[in-house]
Structure 1
Amino acid sequence: MRRLPILPTIIVALAVATMIGLGLWQLRVRLPQKEAQLAQLAANPSRPAVPFPRSPDDSLLFRASVAECAQVTGITRAGAGNAGYRLIATCLTPGGGVPIKVQLGTTRDPTKMVEWGGGVVRGWISHAPDQTPLIATLFRAAPKEMLLVAAEPAAGLTANSRPDIGLVPNNHLAYAGQWFFFAAVAALIYLVALRRRLASRA
């Protein structure tokens, strides 16, 4: 009498159900959340300026902002895609507290450095460069650090690119498709293996 292998069948069924559940979660939860966030971000550049946030708040991304850099404690360099490199100053503010980061401008010279004495900076809010490996970001609960992108570049630098909503990824539909594909592949592999197992016992 042919019988299904109980334990392998249960394991595969649970795995397939989990992958389908993750696909549905991407479609029903994460995709609408992302679409709502993108709609908000698209409207942020036209909204009134706000003080630079003292703690991370992704709802303020691309919003016009202003802050005062009372003291520059250092300037670092980070990649800026086609623009080359961006120079980012770390600043102490008059009120104290956590230092803020200001993107001064961009350059194609990998050795370029500038002298900048701080002052009032007007620009828009973005995310600071993050060196965290991609796999680690999947398990990170802490929000990304914020960055004030200066509207006027420091002397000797090229102006920063304006906010572009098109650069914000929305991959949740693709993620859902991937989970459904994985579920289908797992089920197919199991069915093929089961067919061979039953045929060998015939």
Structure 2
Amino acid sequence: MTALGVWQLQRAQWKNGLIAQLDANRGKPAIAWPGLAAAKDESLLYRRATGFCLEPTAWRAIAGRNLQDQPGWSHIASCRTGGAEGPGMEVDVGWSKAGKAPAWKGGSVEGVIVPDREHRIRLVASNAPAGLPPSQAGLPSDLPNNHFFYALQWFFFALAAGVIYVLALRKRQQSAVALPPSVADGKPEGGR
């Protein structure tokens, strides 16, 4: 359990470094939408980017917030960006109180690259091309970083286990002292 606590402290240091890197990405110059994103390429996250959606091929709505922090729906278009296959692009085209897909037909988009659970990354449009208010892109500091508290929890468990072990040993020792010598040696009383 102590080793798990130390591991969580190491994870906390790693997460702090990641959040600092992602914060630094926010200040970097805008890039073109990447054709293929590496599975764990943190250098893209929270960068400003531009892209072109030839046409939306599918829509999904997820719980989201607008820039005034109101809850509602963020509308995400799966866009065709090149040939019939191609990697495509996920674009959060804006926010609304209703989950119905907007009537956006595609076009130029600029915004911020954020993590996406289904497609690794997506572009949250800052210009909200569908005529909707922009969705919140979020901040790197919004990423959960509970590792320090998990470490404290593991250290507490280790301490509790140690205390229980000491109490069990003490009780065992007291039980051995309380027994008559013949019972403690395993001999029945009466010498037989």
Normalised to the residue count of structure 1, the TM-score between the two structures is 0.74
Q: Which residue does 2:22 correspond to in 1?
A: 41
Q: CA deviation at 1:89?
A: 0.5
Query: Greater CA radius of gyration, 1 or 2?
Result: 2
Q: Which runs of 4+ in 1 moved over 3 A?
A: none
- Assess if the C-alpha contact under 8 Å between 1:37 and 1:59 holds in 2: no
C-alpha displacement of 1:85:
1.2
Alignment of 1:21-60 (within 5 A): 21-27=3-9, 29-53=10-34, 54-55=36-37, 56=39, 57-60=41-44
Is residue 122 of structure 2 the alignment partner of residue 186 of structure 1? no
Q: CA RMSD in A?
A: 2.1
Query: In the alignment, residue 78 of structure 1 is paired with which amino acid?
Result: I
Aligned-partner residue type, residue 115 of structure 1: A
Secondary structure, aligned partner of 2:43: helix
Amino acid corresponding to residue 101 of structure 2 in structure 1: M
Q: Indicate the SS of the match to 1:161.
A: coil
In 2, are the aligned partners of 1:79 and 1:86 still within 8 Å (CA)? yes
- Cα separation, partners in 2 of 1:69 and 1:43, compared to 1, 3 Å: same
Question: Equivalents in 2 of 1:197, 1:120: separation in Å?
Answer: 76
Q: How high is the TM-score relative to the length of structure 2?
A: 0.78
Higher share of residues assigned helix: 1
Q: Percent identity?
A: 38
Structure with larger RCO (C-alpha < 8 A, sep 6+): 1
User: 1:98 is paired with a residue of what secondary structure?
Assistant: coil
Report the CA distance between 1:158 and its aligned residue: 1.7
Gap runs ≥5 in structure 2? 178-192
Q: Give the length in aligned residue pairs.
A: 169
The alignment status of 1:97 with 2:89, answered yes or no, reads no
